[in-house]
Structure formats: structure tokens, C-alpha cells
Amino acid sequence: MPLSELRAALILLSPLLLLRAVLTVPLERGATKEDSPATESPVSGPSLLSSQDTGLYYHRYLQEVINVLETDGHFREKLQAANAEDIKSGKLSRELDFVSHHVRTKLDELKRQEVSRLRMLLKAKIDAEQEPNVQLDHLSLLKQFEHLDPQNQHTFEARDLELLIQTATRDLAQYDAAHHEEFKRYEMLKEHERRRYLESLGEEQRKEAERKLEEQQRRHREHPKVNVPGSQAQLKEVWEELDGLDPNRFNPKTFFILHDINSDGVLDEQELEALFTKELEKVYDPKNEEDDMREMEEERLRMREHVMKNVDTNQDRLVTLEEFLASTQRKEFGDAGEGWETVEMHPAYTEDELRRFEEELAAREAELNAKAQRLSQETEALGRSQGRLEAQKRELQQAVLQMEQRKQQQQSLNDQALGPEGQLKFHPDPDDAPVPAPAGDQKDVAASEQKDPEQPHKLDSQHL
């Protein structure tokens, strides 16, 4: 199988190559072939997936499955003999039945881990949206994830590999469209905020702000001519300024080999985007406030899409040497024309789209304001409730303090009423003290007590 066809087949199992738009290409040229680490040759087995993140919520599962499949010699052999249609149709997936038991065991474990992870995500989401302790139908919920077969949650089968390939290919193919939509919303929000800011100013301040904005736009437009991506003028500029070669000796085949950084026989999307750095630097400078770096990344994506549309004839998102050389033979290759039309020359949205966007923002803002008002009222109610609770707390503390004081007073009185050994002490009332008798009577009483101290006193009939 030719190297280019093998690479085209691998692209469906290596979704990262479909997602070069998410990678930020540095403004300086990357390492040369001499400086970069040696890559594994197709003979010894190409790497199906790099370590860069696809952005898919199942990226780790995808990466681990491919890494395990790479360890099976039979599967690698069938992959090298397959074409893109075999992979798309699911024919390659059926080869999973012939991989080693060790590999199948690892794949089974990976699937069980992924199912467990998805269950945890679903439970966390549901717990955040409704009351806890709700019984979950995990099988029904897992059906919303299309990258695995939810009917079989324990073993990794050919159907799982087929679904994984199809879902990743579809999701990543939609990336560019999603990126453009995100950029459109970014631009509309920026314009919306600009208009609101101007409306908040007085007349003189508004005129000054508008003058400053027009000056920034003018400076941004004053840049050297931007060559059409993939044109002879653009490639020759790279050849001369980045490669340091004589522009009069430009050779397309040598150019291709120089910029096939990993020497795999094709230019992938990342390698193509690296070619646009010089053109982007003509328009965008991070040091200038008038240059928006988000617009620069959108520009990079537009340039890559333009080259792919005109050079990648089989639409496998890879440019082979044959496709590249064929593009240099077309009339458009040498036609410099007016140059490349940058983002600001093609507004990302219409006035109707901006109006609908502002209506959406207004509705969302009204909803947030209503929520904020409810929260404010609840906060005030909680504050009043807190005040009442604090008042009750102070009253209870005062009552407890008074009870403690009474208890201490009672304890003090009880201590005074007890003798040294705990017996009760009686304190006679001064009003009840006997009146002293006359001196004569006192002598008679004393004599009587001395005569018979144990007999009780007998009262005289006169006393009775």
C-alpha cells in the first residue's frame, strides 16, 4: 500500500490530524528536521495518535484504545493493507475478532472504565439538576453517548471500534464549522459592547471615541499586501525569508520535502498552517491594540481551508506530494491578483444576525436580573430572620444568666444554714427571748434546780 494511501487510511483512526485548527502555530518557525526528534517510519509502524488533545469529551478513551490496538501486530498489518473505504465501512473493525487475547482484555477494561466514568458524569449532572436519591436508568442515559455500544457495558467488541471511529470522524469534521460560529458570536459581542459603550458617552466623548476607533482601524488596514495562501508568491516568500534560499531557484518538490516536518510524505493541517505565519505577521502584531489575536486565528483557519479546498483533491485533509505538484501547474498558482482578502473585508455577521443576537442577550440579561432580584429579596429575608434569631439568642442568654444568678444565691443561703458537719443551725428570734425574773425569784429557781435537777418544774396552783 503506498505511503500516501496508508496515511489517508490512518487519518480516520487519528482524529488529531482532523483538528489542526485547534493547535496554535507559533509565530516563529518550528524546529528544523535536524533539531526535531526522529519520527517512526511507516515501515516500523506509524503512530496512530499523538499526545495532543482533540478536545473531544472522550479523547482519553479514544487515545487509549488506539494505543492498545497499536500493540497488536495482526491489527497493524491489516491496517496497512486497508484503504479509507475499508475503515469507513467498518470492515477494519471486524479484524478486532482476530487480535490477541491480551489486547482484548485491555480493551475490555478500558470500556468498563469509560462506562464507569460516564455514569459518574451523569449522576453528577442529575444531582445538580434535581433532588438526590432519584433512581437512575443508566442504560437509557448511556444511549446518548454515541462513541460506544451501551447494550454491552463489559466487553469491547467490533461494534465499539466502529462507533468510536464514526463518532470521532463526524465530531471532528464539524470542528471548523463550530469554530466559525464561535468566532461570529465573539465578533457580534464585541460590536454590541462597542455600541453600548458609545451610547453611554456624552456627545463630545462619543465623537472622540469614534475618532480613536477609526484611527485604530486605519492603522490595522495599513499593512503589506497579503499573498493568497498556496500561491507561487506566497510559497516563494517562505522559500526566501524562512528557508533562506534563492527565490529564482524555487523548486516545488524541494519546498514540499523541506516543510514535511515529520517526513511522512504528506503535509497535514498543522504543517500547512505553519506556512502562513509570514502572511499573518503582516497583518497582526500582539503588541498593537488594534490587532485582535482572535481574528488572527480565524484568519489562519480561513487560509488553511482555502488551500485544502484547492489542493487537497481527494478531501482527506492531507496534501500529498502529487497533489501539491499538481496545484503548482494550475494557472491560479502564478496569478498574484489583488492578494488575499482578510477577515475585516468579510464581515462575520449581518445586521439581522446582530439584532437577533442582541435580543438574545437582552432576554438573558433580563432573566439574570430577575434571578438577581429574587436572590436579593431572599438575602434580605434571611437577614431579617437572622436578626430575629439573634434577638432570641440574646434573650435566652439573659434568661440563662438570671437562672445562674438565682441558683448561686440559693446555694449561698443553703451554705449559711448548715453547721460545720452539715447539721441544720437554728437562729432564735430576738423577739422570743425570755424576760429575766426578779432577783428573789432567780435565787429560788436556782435553789430548786440544785435540789432536784432532773424533776420537771411543777407549777403552783397560784400560777394555774
Q: Per mean pLDDT, which of 55-69, 278-292, 331-345, 440-454 is the most reliable?
A: 278-292
pLDDT band at residue 163 under the 50/70/90 scheme? confident
Q: What is the mean pLDDT of residues 133-143?
A: 60
448561686: which residue's cell?
408
Lowest mean pLDDT among 89-103, 316-330, 346-360, 382-396: 89-103
How far apart are the C-alpha atoms of 364 and 135, rounded to whole Å?
33
Torsion of CA 438, 439, 444, 446, to 10 degrees: 110
Q: What is the pLDDT of residue 119?
A: 81
CA distances from 96 to 5, 46, 121, 245 (A): 21, 19, 29, 49
Please state the φ and ψ torsions of residue 266, each to the nearest 5 degrees.
-140, 160
Q: Say whether pLDDT at 48 is over 80.
A: no
Q: Which residues pair with 418 in a beta bridge?
A: 424
Q: What is the pLDDT of residue 22?
A: 32
pLDDT band at residue 138 under the 50/70/90 scheme? low
Q: What is the mean pLDDT of residues 246-254?
A: 93
Give the rounded percent of residues in the chain with a pLDDT score beyond 70: 73
Q: What is the pLDDT of residue 305?
A: 92
Q: Say whether pLDDT at 461 is over 90.
A: no
Among residues 356, 359, 354, 358, the alpha carbon closest in space to that of 184 is found at 354
pLDDT band at residue 1 under the 50/70/90 scheme? very low
- Per-residue pLDDT reduced to its tens digit, 394-425: 999 999 999 999 888 888 887 776 666 656 55
Lowest mean pLDDT among 21-25, 433-437, 449-453: 21-25
Whole-number CA gyration radius for the chain? 46
Q: What is the pLDDT of residue 253?
A: 95
How many other C-beta atoms are found inside a 10 Å radius of the C-beta of residue 259?
Answer: 20
Among residues 137, 160, 336, 154, the alpha carbon closest in space to that of 235 is found at 336
Residues in the chain: 464
pLDDT band at residue 235 under the 50/70/90 scheme? very high
**Predicted TM-score (pTM) of this structure:** 0.59
CA distances from 199 to 193, 194, 351 (A): 10, 9, 18
Q: What is the pLDDT of residue 380?
A: 92
- Tell me which H or E stretch contains 295: helix 293-311
User: What mean pLDDT, rounded, does the chain reach?
Assistant: 78
**DSSP three-state, residue 424:** strand
In sequence order, which residues have a C-beta less than 8 Å from that of residue 271 and are 6 or more positions away? 259, 260, 261, 262
How far apart are the C-alpha atoms of 249 and 285, rounded to whole Å?
31
